[in-house]
Homo-oligomer: A and B are copies of this chain.
Amino acid sequence: MNLGHLLLGKPLATKDLPHQAISKRVGLAVFASDALSSTAYATQEILVILSIAAIGSTAIWQTQGNILAIAIPIAIAISILLAIVTISYRQTIFAYPNGGGAYIVARDNLGETPAQVAGAALLTDYILTVAVSISAGVAQITSFFPELAPLRVHIAVAVIGLMTLVNLRGVKESGTIFAIPTYFFLGVMLLTLAAGFVRLLGGSLGVIPPDSVEIVPHLGESLVTPEAAGAFIFLILRAFSSGCTALTGIEAISNGIQAFHEPRSKNAAKTLVVMSSVLIVLFIGITVLAVNIHAIPSEHETVISQLGRSVFGANSMMHFLLLGGTALILLMAANTSYADFPRLAALIAADGFLPRQLTNRGGRLVFSWGILFLSLAAALLVIIGNASTTTLIPLYAIGVFLSFTMSQYGMYIHMGRVGKLKPGEEIQGLETVMKYDPHWHRKQIISLIGAICTFVVMVIFAITKFTHGAWFIVILIPLLVLVFFKIHHHYKSVAHELSLAGSRPDTKPRTVQTIILIDDVHRETARLVNVAKSLRHPWKAIHVAVNPEKALKVEQKWNERIGEGELLILQSPYRLLAEPIADYIEDIQKQEPSCFVHIIVGHLAMDTFWEQALHSNSSLILNLIFSRMENVVFTTVPYRIHTHEEDDAEDTKREPEQQELTPTA
């Protein structure tokens, strides 16, 4: 208990929930780290694809520089898409102020199945984000300290553990703690860009020597020349969609609006706009500089690192700070998932499509089950995937783009509904308030463009990465949706079975037949007899003769020490405990069909887990077994055993009447 408080902080009262809201500054750190982290690799992803058109040598800029320079217009196009999606999500934030993003938008506008598809896609992607970004961050760390490489799975799991602890303390605390690395990355990156552009304009920015970096091995295998127009357009499309990983993470704020201070929607929307602006500046800035330094897409040195050494010089302090900041932002990207996954899972669970437990708020008012599930799933992925990003990355981003499409298309429908309102009209929905909006048509078109673009990107992702693992996601998401609906069906059936349909049920008292199960005759047995007598219904004691010799002794002791009531010995040739009792209960129920059979079992309650483990604890198992019978009531009579003197003292203090009450011999 004290260790728990030390690690997680003191429990928070339910009424403290509003105090757990976060400011825009902290919100940017919590929700932007995923989006910002994508600038660490998006430019590189574009260059890798464009290099396919170049000759397979590190001298690609000298021979095919004009093709690789297309990275800049592609980055600008992606930024425009990013702006469109941002505008659409901004509308979502105001239209659906309780958060839930794509899930709620789809549920409200597209129906139950699209909503569950969006939910499954987002939840899957959040798990992958944690696994991928922590693996990538750890890979950065182990490239500084190669001697740590064999421990990378251990380090990744430890980081997940740490992130779990901090998030179990609450989003407010995790935001405050994790704001430092996010702002550190932002500072270093902006400094790098500023210095880079100053040197570029001053003409002093050098070019990466072609032989200083090893090129990605698979490059140059398929040479696509600008002459083969169809193939070339396809290449540009692939480069565009690969670069679209820069968009991942911008949905985060729309899911987590509830984490913000009031006025929530306004604060969330402002944070979203700041985040997207910063993202566009970083992304275009990095891409322009990368083209100008002739950065080489390589497995051995990232484009960010090449940028750092061009701007500041190799192994300079600033170069290291840039690499460190990048490692940090990759680790922090996982934290965004911790902010969103539990909230989204709770929303879906509240709709009855995921286990209800996910809606419970823990001691620190966070959705503890969601946090723990996210950590376990991500840790499992990291262990199975051996903390390697190359196995995990192809699985990534399809889910986010699926949810983007759903969300944009949902907003398109939403705006259509808004368009049907008369001026001044207002409709109050479950999650939304629809007001007349003169600009509905423009907003609708923006969402439609966003939906089409993100859909195309998703399809390109799914096709080009299909054989590298994307097939898994293509199978997994429908499967998850199926499971969600199975869960929903279960809850509906249970609710149906339990429904009183508004009527008063018949609770007329029935007869009760009591049986007490005894293993031996001692003080605990006397307690059982005492309880049975106190309940004042007909009772009988039963001993199952698992060990026939012992049964004889029990019978003898019963007669000597208890000497009242009837003791029945049930034979059990196969040493089973529950089955002979179950048969006996069925006999009673045949004779008297309308009675409750009341089974009373003793339980020796010990002070510690280890002491408890030294006893058979059969009451727990029997409870589960007899729960499967109808009209059976199962009672446990605990008998506390104190083998430690300190505990005795403590208990005497708490329950002064105890000493007198225990029947003395």
Contacts and interface: CB of A to CB of B under 8 A. Distances in A.
Interface stretch (A39-47, A339-347, A394-402, A633-641): A633-641
A370 to B, nearest CB: 15
B613 A355 contact: yes
B665 A499 contact: yes
A505 B490 contact: no
Interface string A352-371: 00011100110100000000
A278 interface: no
Interface in A444-487: 487
A295 to B, nearest CB: 39
A626 B638 contact: yes
23 contacts: A13-B573, A13-B574, A14-B548, A355-B613, A356-B615, A360-B575, A487-B614, A489-B643, A494-B604, A500-B523, A503-B665, A505-B562, A507-B526, A507-B529, A509-B530, A509-B534, A605-B628, A628-B640, A630-B658, A633-B635, A633-B636, A634-B636, A635-B636
Nearest to A636: B634
A657 B593 contact: yes
A589 B494 CA distance: 37
Contacts of A504: 561-563
Interface in A618-655: 620, 623, 626-643, 651, 655
Contact of A629 (B355, B497, B638): B638
B501 A14 contact: no
Contacts of A628: 605, 638, 640
A383 interface: no
A521 interface: yes
Pick from A510, A593, A605, A614 the residue with the most CB of B within 10 Å.
Answer: A614
Contact of A537 (B506, B535, B562): B535
Given A523-B498, A630-B661, A663-B505, A534 B511 contact: yes
A624 to B, nearest CB: 8
Contacts of A320: none
A586 B361 CA distance: 27
* Closest 7 pairs (CB-CB, A-B): A505-B526, A627-B638, A593-B657, A498-B522, A493-B643, A506-B663, A635-B635
Interface string A127-139: 0000000000000
A657 to B, nearest CB: 4
A530 B503 contact: no
A94 interface: no
A596 B589 CA distance: 28
B500 A665 contact: yes
Contact of A501 (B355, B501, B564, B665): B665
A563 B504 CA distance: 8
Given A11-B574, A574-B363, A643 B490 contact: yes
A15 interface: yes
Contact of A494 (B13, B531, B548, B641): B641
A635 B638 contact: no
Contacts of A360: 575
A490 B611 contact: yes
A637 B642 contact: no
A34 B531 CA distance: 55
Interface in A507-556: 507-512, 521-524, 526, 529-531, 533-537, 548
Contacts of A508: 530, 533
A150 interface: no
A245 to B, nearest CB: 35
Nearest to A13: B573
Given A356-B614, A615-B356, A634-B638, A664 B522 contact: no
A603 interface: yes
Contacts of A633: 531, 635-637
Contacts of A535: 512, 535, 537
Contacts of A605: 627-628
Contact of A509 (B356, B503, B536): B536
Given A523-B500, A523-B505, A574-B11, A594 B637 contact: no
A67 B635 CA distance: 76
A502 interface: yes
A361 B547 CA distance: 10
Contact of A355 (B489, B614, B638): B614
A491 interface: yes
A518 to B, nearest CB: 12
Of the candidates A489, A523, A563, A639, the one having the most CB atoms from chain B within 10 angstroms of its own CB is: A523
Contact of A630 (B533, B563, B640): B640
